[in-house]
Structure 1
Amino acid sequence: MVFACDMNASVMADLESTYSNVRALELNVCDRNSIGVAIAKINAEFGHIDVLVNNAGITRDNLLDKMTEEEWDMVADVNLKGVFNMTQAIAPIMIENGIGSIITMSSVVGTDGNIGQSNYAATKGGVIAMTKGWSKEFSRKGAQVRANCIAPGFIETPMTKDLPEKVLDYMTNKTPLKRMGKPTDIAEGALFLASERSSFITGQTLKIDGGLVI
C-alpha cells in the first residue's frame, strides 16, 4: 500500500480513484501533531513502514537583498523542517523493524547553488547534510535503515511550468542531454533507492539532472 500525502484534497481523490494500491492522505508536513496521529494509525494497521519519500517542497525566490523573512521562513518550514518532522515520526518505526529506506528530494541547487534562491539552496543543502547524519545514526545498532537523497535538475513539474520561456530554453540548452527531465526520471531513481537493488547504498545523493551539474 502506498500512502500519497498532500494538502490538495482533490488531487488526492484523483490518485485514489485511479490506483487501487494508493490511499490518499491529506497531510501538512509542517503540522507535527497531525503527522504523529497519521503515522500512528498507519503503523497500527500495517505494523511496518518500509519506505518514506520526502517530496514536499516550495520555492519563494528572490535576490538576497530583497528576500523577506516570510519568504525565508516559509521555504525553511516546508523544505527542511517538514523533512525533519516526517523522518522523526517514521524512522523509529523502521529502526524497530530493522529495515527501511528514507529518500529525500534535494536539488542540484542544494549542491551547487543558484542566483535568487538562498532559501531554497539552504534547505536543499540542509537535507543532504541531515541525510548523511541519518545514514550513520539509524544504522548504528545494526538496523538496515538507509537514508539517501535525490538531486533533480530541471524537471517538468508544476513548480517549473510557470518559468519564463527564455529561462526554460536557457536551462535546456545548458543541460548536456538537451531536455528537461520528466517526473518518471525521478520516480525511477526513487524506486531504485527504495528497492533491495540499492541495499548497500546509504548516505548518498543521486543527481538526476541530464548532466546539468558535473
Structure 2
Amino acid sequence: MSLARRLWADTSDLADATLAHPFVQGLADGSLPRERFTGYVAQDAFFLQAFARAYAMAVVRSPDRAGLEAFADLLAGVREELRLHDGYAARWGIDLAGVAPAPATSAYTDFLLATAATGGLGEICAAMTPCMRLYAHLGQSLAGRPAGTYTEWVTTYADPGFEELAATLERLLDRYAEDTPDVARAYRRAMELELGFFAAAWSPGDGRA
C-alpha cells in the first residue's frame, strides 16, 4: 500500500465522521439551511486562497520539473474552485471580499501556511492531500443522491477531473514524503481541521477547530 493510501486508511475515522456530519448530509438531501451554506462558501473561499498560496510555495520548493508542473496544475485547479464560489456569490449575494475568517478557518489556514513555510515538501503534501482526497470522497459518496439545491456542489467534487487532481497530489505525496511521524501528524491534523471546518459551518457560534 502506498504511503498516501495508508495515511488515508489510518484517518478513515475522521473521513467517516465528516461524511456523517449533518452539514454534509444536508448537502446530500438538500435540507441544509441556505444561510449555513452561504457562510460555508464565504469561509471556504477564504481558505482556498491560503490553499493556493501553499501550492505556490510547493512550486517554489519543487526539486524537479515534474513536481513544478504538477503543483502548477493543482494551483490552476484551485482557481477553478474559486470561480465556482464566485458563481455562488453572484447568485446568492455573498460578500467574498469582506470575509472575516472564523476561528476554525484561521486554525486551518494558519496550519497550512506554517507548514508550507517551514516544512519539507513531503510534509507540505501531507498537509494538503487530505482536503483534496476528502472532498473527492464526499462528492463520490453523495453522487446520485437527491441533493436539490446543492447538486452543483456534489457534482463538482464527484467529477472525474477532481478525482484526478486528488490522485495527482497523492502521487506527489508518495514521491516526496518519507514515512515519518511528522508526515503522519500533518496528514491527521489536516483531517481534523477539515472536520472542524464543517462543524463550524454547521454551528458558526461554536468557534471550534
TM-score under structure 1 length normalisation: 0.34
Larger proportion of strand? 1
Larger proportion of helix? 2
| Structure (1 or 2) with the larger CA radius of gyration | 1
Higher RCO, Cα 8 Å, sep 6+: 2
